[in-house]
Amino acid sequence: MAKRPSKARSSADDKYIDSLDAPKSFGEYWGQVKSGVQTEQFRVICGILLALFTLYLGIAFVSFFFTGAEDFSILEMSRAERAANRLEIQNWMGLPGAALIFLLVHKGFGLASLALIALLAVYANRLFHVGRIRVWRFTCCAVFWLLYGAVVLGYIDYLIGEPLFFRLGGAFGAVVTLWAISYVKAIGLLFILLALGLIFFICVDETFVPKMHKLWQWLKGLFKKSEPGIPESTDNPEAQNTPTDDADTSAPIELVVTGKTEEDKSDEGSTLTVEIVGQEPDDYVEDQPAEDEPEPTDDDITEIEPVPEAAEESIGDDHTNLEIQKGKKVDIVEDSPEALLKKYGEYDPRKELEFYQFPSLDLLKVYPNETSPVIDQQEQQNNADRIVNALRNFGVEIDSIKATVGPTVTLYEVKPKAGVRVSKIESLESDIMLSLAAKGIRIISPMPGKGTVGIEVPNEKPQVVSMHSVIASRNFQEEKKMRLPIAIGRTITNDVFMFDLAKTPHLLVAGATGQGKSVAINAIITSLLYKKHPAELKMVLVDPKMVEFAPYKPLLKHYLAAMPDVDENQVVITDCDKVINTLNSLVIEMENRYKLLMDAGVRNLEDYNDKFVHRRLNPEKVVEGTLHHQYLPYIVIIIDEYGDFIMQAGKQVETPIARITQKARAVGMHMILATQRPSVNIVTGVIKANIPTRIALRTQSVVDSRTVLDAKGADQLIGRGDMLYAGNGEITRIQCAFVDTPEVDAIVEHVQGQQHYFEPYQLPEYIPEGTDAEALAPGSVDMKRLDPMFADVARYVVNKQEGSTSRLQRAFEIGYNRAGKLSDQLEAAGIVGPNKGSKGRDVLIQDPNQLEAKLQELGVG
């Protein structure tokens, strides 16, 4: 009996050693190749090679028009003959360049091959993550012009009859043209090409139909002006007074303007009569101004709509000259949510950083046997025997015992016989620990819903739970319902333990020094970085020890939120005064978000963002004076060792923390507090009341355990990430996933190399009461910190004479937050007027030279 476990253990060891020497399968090799292809270095190398090839092809294409005639005879030779005469090639890129262009242009698609070169340039640009061109849209357009352009040029070749030294449409265009003409003749092919071109423009340009409508109206206007009897210009008074004999005066409804002649001006007063021919006399409209009324100015001239065609009444010489001005065109704005959603689609918060790539799993370290615990059957059997013997020595008989092996702890479920009191088993905790010679055990009496008593015993050889095994698990990768999913470790049953921070809604992490608080917080941050896009999550990091959160400083323009004018080296807050200001700034942010939710008529951040995504909120609308509707990211505030700040500032820190933990859940702001002093003066009743979810690592005493969890047990943990999670009325034992410093550095380095915002997420300005510090008034703009795109946006606004925020958002493909800040900066600079809601902003500068002078004055010219 005793040899069997030893034999099984030896067999398992032999299998593990054999697995190391065994040849790798194709899947393993393919996984390594795939990981290498997905690296940043491989992408940049491919981008450089593709860009150089595109440049080479482009130069050869240009040279073909100057040297192709001389090279034509050589290029039509066989491959061996071309190689022999390669020195005679005149193309700037030599024989390979001349051969490639000859193949593309003459034997391929003609001049339309330029679309293929442009497509290669776009793909090279995409590999460098430069620009915002929609690759799939551009690819479809390029393929269309490659084929359509070749046929159009082939049709031109057919009409010319005497082509150049090469085919304009290439061999493809010539073949398709001749085939189509054989069926529908030349005129039929012309109609087909025109129809295809119109369909293409209608599909890719939503303004094409309105432009064609305007062109038709303009052509109709030219035709009208050429008709006899119609004045050529409504701006010429003399033309309006010219009599026309051909005018039809029998129209049923017609406007005729009459007035006093020069001889009648001596009469007292004057009368302006508008006659409607064909109506009863009662329909006459008579306007009799007062004697003292001043003469009408140009602004007072009544605007009268033009007379219908062929209904103009001839005007005699004795009529008053009346200048008729055409009224301004009224723009109809479809601002209903349904129209906007149909026109622009749903708002995509990730659009501004559409090239951002999440960290890959190969940045995390892989440990041996990380997916399943190593079971030592001999150890488990010995521990079970010792537990049974210890209980029997004190008169406690059991019916059965079952072991569940976890990464660091084994759970023994004991089913006592009838009549045994559970409290008696609890009182034997120290005796069982003595018999097992264990560091610490934890008794769960009874196990919820099982009718057993649980005894958790540490394993002799605890197993490391890697962050890779947690992040790569199916549960975490396929999780879609959680708003802020956090995979923190594995339970005793080796299941990945996850919770939603958005529903927690705040978290308290407590434990003695060196028991794994920092590793737990790193696991939380890593989970968020692997799951949430920078547009969806912002973090505020507070670290009095100055070294715990230092590796996350490079995430400033991706994931971090900060006060205005923050120094990049101080984005992780370490000073107590700055902590107070930041916490109060977060309180202001919370209140601002509640104002936006109240105006939107929703109760939480999820409903608000859903309403904004479906374009049911107007970003141009001003709320409470300075606020605008926008997509709101989650904000996670992480304070490491907040007990130090409580000891220094007391109520100044505790009060804003209490306000945030009381109210901020609904607006997407969640707080994580960590402390190594879980005493009652640090973990106060206010904190405990507002933070129901807590994580306890090993504490120094049972009193500290009760302070954190309201239950004992944390003092019996074994340390090194062994923790108790208290939430939803249950306490779960978890082995925290281990995240090493090199893994954190690799993840941060990857994120730092991705597309980022130009500035961090700005929190509201907070100035302490009683200080003389100067601050910007609400809604004011600091002109010393202009957006890098300010000059380009200003020139666009002046050239287009359009200053709406939504227009900037579409034109520059930026998020609404940034577009709104640019609009405020343009207003502060005097380039555009104030916000007028859906009507857009007035552009105050019309002259580009005046704008350049303004930009020079601001120092951005």
Segment holding 813, helix H or strand E = none
Nearest-angstrom CA–CA distance, 407 and 463: 5
| pLDDT > 50? residue 522 | yes
User: What's the whole-number mean pLDDT along residues 818-825?
Assistant: 82
Exposure of 11 in the CB half-sphere (CA atoms within 13 A): 6
β-bridge mates for residue 167, sequence order: none
* Burial classification of residue 561, based on how many CB atoms lie within 10 Å of its CB (0-12 exposed, 13-18 middle, 19 or more buried): buried
Nearest-angstrom CA–CA distance, 53 and 41: 18
Nearest-angstrom CA–CA distance, 241 and 231: 9
Per-position b or e across 504-538, b if 16+ CB within 10 A of its CB? bbbbbbbbbeebbbbbbbbbbbbbbbbbbebbbbb
Nearest-angstrom CA–CA distance, 817 and 630: 7
**For strand 669-675 and strand 255-258, is the pairing parallel, antiparallel, or unpaired?**
unpaired
Question: What integer pLDDT is reported at residue 549 of this predicted model?
Answer: 92
Crossing angle (nearest 10°) for helices 576-600 and 605-613: 60
Number of alpha helices (DSSP H) and beta strands (DSSP E) in the chain: 28, 20
Question: What integer pLDDT is reported at residue 838 of this predicted model?
Answer: 61
- Give which of 500, 509, 511, 515 is closest to 687, Cα–Cα: 509
Nearest-angstrom CA–CA distance, 561 and 764: 10
- Give which of 785, 792, 783, 838 is closest to 813, Cα–Cα: 792
Mean pLDDT of the chain: 79
| pLDDT > 90? residue 696 | yes
Q: Which residue has better confidence, 26 or 160?
A: 160
Question: What integer pLDDT is reported at residue 68 of this predicted model?
Answer: 79
- pLDDT tens across 371-388, in order? 777 788 888 888 888 888
Nearest-angstrom CA–CA distance, 677 and 643: 7
Question: What integer pLDDT is reported at residue 238 of this predicted model?
Answer: 41
Place of tokens 């730092």: 752
Nearest-angstrom CA–CA distance, 121 and 142: 12
Crossing angle (nearest 10°) for helices 377-393 and 429-436: 140
Identify the band that residue 327 occupies on the pLDDT scale cut at 50, 70 and 90. low
- Give which of 661, 716, 713 is closest to 683, Cα–Cα: 661
- pTM of the predicted model, to two decimals? 0.58
Place of tokens 């998020």: 815
Place of tokens 């849209």: 137
Question: What integer pLDDT is reported at residue 130 of this predicted model?
Answer: 61
Residues 6+ apart with CB under 8 A from 140: none
Place of tokens 């020069």: 262
Nearest-angstrom CA–CA distance, 308 and 180: 47
Q: Which residue has better confidence, 467 or 811?
A: 467
Single-letter residue type at 376: D
Segment holding 50, helix H or strand E = helix 40-75
pLDDT > 70 fraction of the chain, expressed in percent and rounded: 78
Exposure of 274 in the CB half-sphere (CA atoms within 13 A): 11
Nearest-angstrom CA–CA distance, 34 and 697: 39
Q: Could you tell me if 630 and 820 are in contact, meaning their C-beta atoms sit under 8 angstroms apart?
A: yes
- pLDDT tens across 573-608, in order? 988 888 999 999 999 999 999 999 999 999 999 999
Identify the band that residue 237 occupies on the pLDDT scale cut at 50, 70 and 90. very low
Nearest-angstrom CA–CA distance, 241 and 244: 9
- Give which of 571, 473, 464 is closest to 516, Cα–Cα: 464
Question: What integer pLDDT is reported at residue 325 of this predicted model?
Answer: 55
State the alpha helices, DSSP H only, in 664-775.
685-690, 702-709, 741-752
Q: Could you tell me if 519 and 674 are in contact, meaning their C-beta atoms sit under 8 angstroms apart?
A: no
- What strand order describes the sheet that includes 255-258? 255-258, 272-276, 285-287
State the alpha helices, DSSP H only, in 513-575.
517-531
Question: What integer pLDDT is reported at residue 254 of this predicted model?
Answer: 38
Q: In angstroms, what CA-CA distances link 453 with 417, 421, 426?
A: 11, 11, 9
The dihedral over CA atoms of 711, 714, 717, 721, expressed in degrees to the nearest 10, equals 130
Question: What integer pLDDT is reported at residue 9 of this predicted model?
Answer: 43
Q: Could you tell me if 192 and 167 are in contact, meaning their C-beta atoms sit under 8 angstroms apart?
A: no
Nearest-angstrom CA–CA distance, 705 and 440: 14
| pLDDT > 70? residue 653 | yes
Q: Report the 3 state secondary structure along 55-80.
A: HHHHHHHHHHHHHHHHHHHHHCCCHH
Question: What integer pLDDT is reported at residue 694 of this predicted model?
Answer: 93
Q: Which of 70-74, 304-308, 340-344, 738-742 has the lowest mean pLDDT?
A: 304-308
Mind giving me the DSSP string for 523-536? Answer: HHHHHHHHH--TTT
Residues 6+ apart with CB under 8 A from 438: 457, 458
Mind giving me the DSSP string for 275-343? Answer: EETTS-GGG-EEE---TTPPPP-GGGPPP-PPPPTT-PPP--TTSPP----PPPPPPPP--SHHHHHHH
| pLDDT > 60? residue 268 | no
Nearest-angstrom CA–CA distance, 783 and 822: 11
Q: Could you tell me if 104 and 146 are in contact, meaning their C-beta atoms sit under 8 angstroms apart?
A: no
Q: Hey, how many other C-beta atoms are within 10 angstroms of the C-beta on 675?
A: 23
State the alpha helices, DSSP H only, in 614-760.
642-649, 651-663, 685-690, 702-709, 741-752
Question: What integer pLDDT is reported at residue 398 of this predicted model?
Answer: 86
β-bridge mates for residue 726, sequence order: 694, 731
Q: Could you tell me if 596 and 629 are in contact, meaning their C-beta atoms sit under 8 angstroms apart?
A: yes
* Burial classification of residue 707, based on how many CB atoms lie within 10 Å of its CB (0-12 exposed, 13-18 middle, 19 or more buried): buried
- Give which of 447, 451, 514, 442 is closest to 712, Cα–Cα: 442
Nearest-angstrom CA–CA distance, 209 and 217: 12
Q: In angstroms, what CA-CA distances link 560 with 297, 540, 542, 572, 622?
A: 60, 6, 11, 9, 26
Question: What integer pLDDT is reported at residue 497 of this predicted model?
Answer: 94
DSSP three-state, residue 517? helix
Nearest-angstrom CA–CA distance, 611 and 62: 52
Question: What integer pLDDT is reported at residue 291 of this predicted model?
Answer: 42
Whether residue 505 is preceded by a cis peptide bond, meaning omega within 30 degrees of 0, is yes
Nearest-angstrom CA–CA distance, 839 and 843: 12
Nearest-angstrom CA–CA distance, 801 and 841: 9
Question: What integer pLDDT is reported at residue 566 of this predicted model?
Answer: 77
State the alpha helices, DSSP H only, in 161-298.
170-204, 208-225, 237-240
Q: Could you tell me if 338 and 362 are in contact, meaning their C-beta atoms sit under 8 angstroms apart?
A: no
Integer-rounded Cα radius of gyration of the chain? 40
Q: Could you tell me if 546 and 733 are in contact, meaning their C-beta atoms sit under 8 angstroms apart?
A: no
User: What's the whole-number mean pLDDT along residues 619-639?
Assistant: 89
- Give which of 552, 499, 514, 860 is closest to 697, Cα–Cα: 514
Nearest-angstrom CA–CA distance, 210 and 214: 6
User: What's the whole-number mean pLDDT along residues 209-220?
Assistant: 77
- pLDDT tens across 712-769, in order? 889 889 888 999 999 888 899 999 999 999 999 999 999 998 988 888 898 988 866 5
